[in-house]
Structure 1
Amino acid sequence: MSRTAESTIKGFLYQFQKTIKAILESSYDDTITVEGIVEDVDVSHLDGSTTAIQCKYHESVEVFTTSLIYKPLLQMAANYSSNPAAGITYRLFVHVQNQEHIFRSITEAELNSALWSTNVKLQATISQIADDFDKADFLTKLTLEFGESIDDLSLSIKSLLEGIEIQNSDVENILYPNSINHIARLSCGDTPESREINRQEFESFLSTSNSTAISKWTLALKTKRQLLTTKRKQLAQYLSQNSRERCFYLSKEQLVDFNDGIVVFISNFLAKYHTKALHIKTPVFVFDCDLLELNEIQYRLFTKGIKVCAGYIGSKFEVQEFFREPIRTNTRSLVNEREFQIRILSYGEQPEAINYRKCDDLFFVCKNKPEQIDCVDIEVSEIGVPNFSELEYVLSIRNEYE
């Protein structure tokens, strides 16, 4: 990962963690909007007022200068200028190196330096601010907070999570990563209403979380190996059972080595979980691909010696054909004596087929789980790893992923 990409990920993680802290420190009557209408985080209070919070994380900056906050400062000023009577309090949350955790006001001189900036990228925002807006009143509503590092912030959050009364809770491996993953998902909502949450809803979500969230956000944490190992242990109880029908939804967008690794992954999975006589349930692999890509995968599997059922009679797909049981010989019940060993499906071509018959275990390896897939009464696992190496590690197919 490049330094720029790593810095971007950390910036988002910092914002998500600041949101989590705001939720856990809020009143049960408050409503928090992730990626709010005003700023990164909007906290709507029962009295009708709003606290708008914006976060800036500058891990590599050693000394604070006002230019670091020109953009968020001007954005807040523009929002105030458009509606000065809205009852909004603004908090600018900034982290730089070697800066103690303090609160202070923004001076009029600092505000003027931002308003008079010649930076071309800031001119559009500056133009939205009325020349005669009440600077003094705006500054009374604005607070600058020099915040803790991302590591210290995570410790603060874990301490707050420990205070939630959830029986047998595992803060490090379940509550903390699931909190980050939940806020990250909320931030992608299309409307402000879909990005709203309150403390009671957040704690209720955590109380029902019993498995480790694995996504690009949680895997960016320093505890990545620990989280993958915990997920591996959680899945082992289901993978160790022989007679379970397993379905995988695999996304080309999620897995960077999808084209190169898909056939080898299926081969390795079969060698581990579909060789015994007791392995009577045929695994299903669903891809977000078109029919031509599905045919190519089927041919590559054929050349690997893996027999496939794709459900097609000529050019027509028949769901009953897809889910029919393979003919097996009555001698040695090994996988290579079955008529076919796996079922493969293009979700783009046949989105309803996956719902035709419920499996026991459904593994999603994708960024966004399709809402149309029926997950009721199924053991669902979301494994947002970026490559097959880590996927095979989580599924206990291999012992190391590096």
Structure 2
Amino acid sequence: MTKSRQAIDTIRGYYYQFDLTISQILEQKNEQNIITIEGIEDIDIASIDGNTTIQCKYYQGTTYNHSEIKDAIIFFAEHYASVKNSPDKKISYKLYGHYKSGHEKLDVNLNIDFFKKHFFKKTSYKEVKDVDGKKTKEIDKITYKDQELGFTNEDILDFISLVNINIRGKSFEELEKHVIDQLIENLDCSEIEAEYYYNNSLAVIRELAKSKEIVSRKISKEDFKKKISKSNKRIFNIWYSKIRGKSHYNKYVRKSIFDDRSSNQLRIFLIDCHGFKKSELLKTLMDISEKWSNMNTSKSIELFCPYIYIHNYCENELAQIKNELIDNNYLIEDGYYYLNSSFNSKLFIREPTKNTCKYRTNLKILNNLKDLNSVLQESETKYKIIFQFYRSSPFFSSEIVLNHEIYFQDLECIKEMILW
């Protein structure tokens, strides 16, 4: 398996656990039940009916063997041993996994003998030499975890009654589809809206999982729904791109935020252009101007054109691009009246010109983030939206305007997202 394939499988494993966490949250009947991320296990659920701890295993290309889940069962047993004599010992243990094959190996009676043989038994080996001096291994000793933990047969039976093992879990795609369906049902929304909430859900779970304190990794279904519904920005990151695939991801971004071309919005495009060829960037800017302005019509009462900030780009080359835009009859505005003048935000945000004027501004180019902040403060336009295209990490944040942070790989991605 290639390193890139291994990396994708690792990412899918993480997201499979995130999806299962989201699914467990959404299926709670009582919205006050508390779900802990990375508590005793991957997912802990506290309800008035008792507590449940869940471990998730995703092995799409692996054949199931009992050794695959042995460590998880041992961990469950150790926890059971620590609480079995306490009054609040009642806790259920769930192991949820997806394997390529081998499921029939667990289609047996999960009794004391089975647990002892396949989960509790530990065989240690030692290295010996035969008469010819050849090294071999032979059994050194056999121990049983249940004996180490002081379990009686009654304890083992009680423990088994609390353990639920499901190795026929949904595939990655099936679980994701199930989560989307749950979001549609819980939030009474369309499928495309559910995709948006799904992305927000992943962001919420990631943030919870990163918290060091366990109290900060707890959330109820009620609070979870509030968090994913009130987010003031949509997150389209590299992980989501890798999971979805480039084409699907680009299409999803387009449908999510670029279907609306109404004129009462001030659209600001921030694009990380480091390393892009000048000719490619020039063509992209022209296309954005054509697509996201109405400067070529005389019928519209309200004229508008896009604002663009080009990040990580040489000043000299940016000046050349401005010249070439003008040479190609794309009149631009950058907020500077004359050579060596200061940036004038009023000049920059003024109306693109009247219908009767021959010279109409096709594109407004911001030279730096300081100028962008000035424009955001000065503009009285009610609806302002930032579309921030980044390749490593977002480079701009604002508390006063909707800011979509969008991961992209190359200019072709931008074309597929916004120039349909």
TM-score of the alignment, normalized to the shorter chain, above 0.5 = yes
Q: Quick check: 2:345–2:371 contact (8 Å CA) kept in 1?
A: no
2:276 pairs with 1:260: yes
Distance 1:194 1:394 in 2: 36
Aligned pair count reads 364
The code of the aligned residue for 1:108 comes to: K
String of CA shifts for 1:38-68, please: whole Å, max 9, x gaps.
3222222246x5422221111112x311332
Distance in 1 between residues matched to 2:234 and 2:397, nearest whole Å: 23
Equivalent in the alignment of 1:356: 377
Contact 1:247 1:361 in 2 (8 A): yes
- String of CA shifts for 1:76-121, please: whole Å, max 9, x gaps: 5666677775745432211112337989688133334579699xxx
Letter of the aligned partner of 2:218 in structure 1?
E
How much has 1:385 moved relative to structure 2?
A: 4.1
Do the aligned partners of residues 110 and 364 (structure 1) sit closer, same or farther apart at CA in structure 2, a change above 3 Å counting? farther
- CA–CA separation in structure 1 for the residues paired with 2:336 and 2:147: 68
Of 179, 182, 186, the match for 1:164: 186
Structure number with bigger Rg = 2
Which has the higher mean CA deviation after the structures are superposed, 5-14 or 198-207? 198-207
Distance 2:44 2:258 in 1: 41
| Aligned residue type for 1:11 | G
> Would the alpha carbon gap of residues 370 and 342 (structure 1) be closer, same or farther in structure 2, given more than 3 Å must change?
closer
Alignment of 1:335-354 (within 5 A): 335=361, 341-346=364-369, 353=374
Contact kept? 1:175, 1:209, Cα under 8 Å:
no
Matches within 5 A, 1:2-401: 2-26=4-28, 27-34=30-37, 36-46=38-48, 50-61=51-62, 63-70=63-70, 72-73=72-73, 76=76, 87=89, 88-98=91-101, 99=103, 107-112=115-120, 132-134=148-150, 139-140=159-160, 141-146=162-167, 147-164=169-186, 166=188, 169-171=189-191, 173-176=192-195, 178-189=197-208, 190-191=210-211, 192-204=214-226, 214-219=236-241, 228-229=250-251, 231-233=253-255, 235-236=257-258, 238-241=260-263, 244-250=265-271, 252=272, 258-260=274-276, 263-264=281-282, 265-274=284-293, 276=295, 279-281=303-305, 283-285=307-309, 287=311, 293=313, 295=315, 298-299=318-319, 301-302=321-322, 304-305=324-325, 309=334, 320=345, 323=348, 325=350, 332-335=358-361, 341-346=364-369, 353=374, 355-357=376-378, 360-366=384-390, 372-375=397-400, 378=402, 380-395=403-418, 397=419, 399=420
Query: Shift in Å at residue 70 of structure 1?
Result: 4.8
Change (3 A) 1:216 1:33: farther
Shift of 1:326: 9.4
Contact 2:67/2:119 (CA < 8 Å) preserved in 1?
Answer: no
Distance 2:371 2:125 in 1: 56
SS in 2 for 1:392: helix
Separation in 1, partners of 2:93, 2:170: 19
Greater Cα offset, 383-392 or 99-108: 99-108
Change in Cα spacing, 1:352 to 1:64, as seen in structure 2 (3 Å) is: same
The 8 Å contact of residues 249 and 285 in structure 1, kept in 2 or not, is answered as yes
Letter of the 2:96 counterpart? F
Instruction: Sort the Cα spacing of 1:67 and 1:308 in 2 relative to 1 into closer, same or farther, 3 A.
Output: farther
Provide the rounded CA distance (Å) in 1 between the counterparts of 2:254 and 2:26. 29
In the alignment, what sits opposite 2:139?
none
Distance 1:21 1:236, change over 3 A: closer
Query: Does the CA-based 8 Å contact 1:174-1:211 persist in structure 2?
Result: no
Partners of 2:343 and 2:371 within 8 A in 1: no
Deviation at 1:309? 3.2
* 1:59 aligned counterpart, secondary structure: strand
Distance across 2 between alignment mates of 1:303 and 1:130: 78
Check the 8 A contact 1:383/1:391 in 2, yes or no. no
Q: Which runs of 5+ in 1 are unaligned?
A: 119-128
For 1:322-372, what per-residue CA distance to the aligned partner results, in whole angstroms no more than 9, with x for missing partners?
956599798522447xxx8311324xx789557524562222335876895
Supply the AA of the counterpart residue of 2:175. L
Whether the aligned pair in 2 keeps the contact of 1:51 and 1:90 (CA below 8 Å) is yes
Match of 1:122 in 2: none
Higher strand share: 2
Which structure 2 residue ranges, 5 or more long, are not aligned? 127-144, 297-301, 327-331
Q: 1:372 to 1:228 in 2, by over 3 A?
A: closer
User: Structure 1 residues 50, 369: closer, same or farther in 2, change over 3 A?
Assistant: farther
What is the letter of the counterpart of residue 183 of structure 1? L
Partners in 1 of 2:241 and 2:358 — Cα distance?
A: 43
Distance 1:314 1:183, change over 3 A: same
* CA distance 1:30–1:321, change in 2 (3 Å): same
Contact 1:311 1:321 in 2 (8 A): no
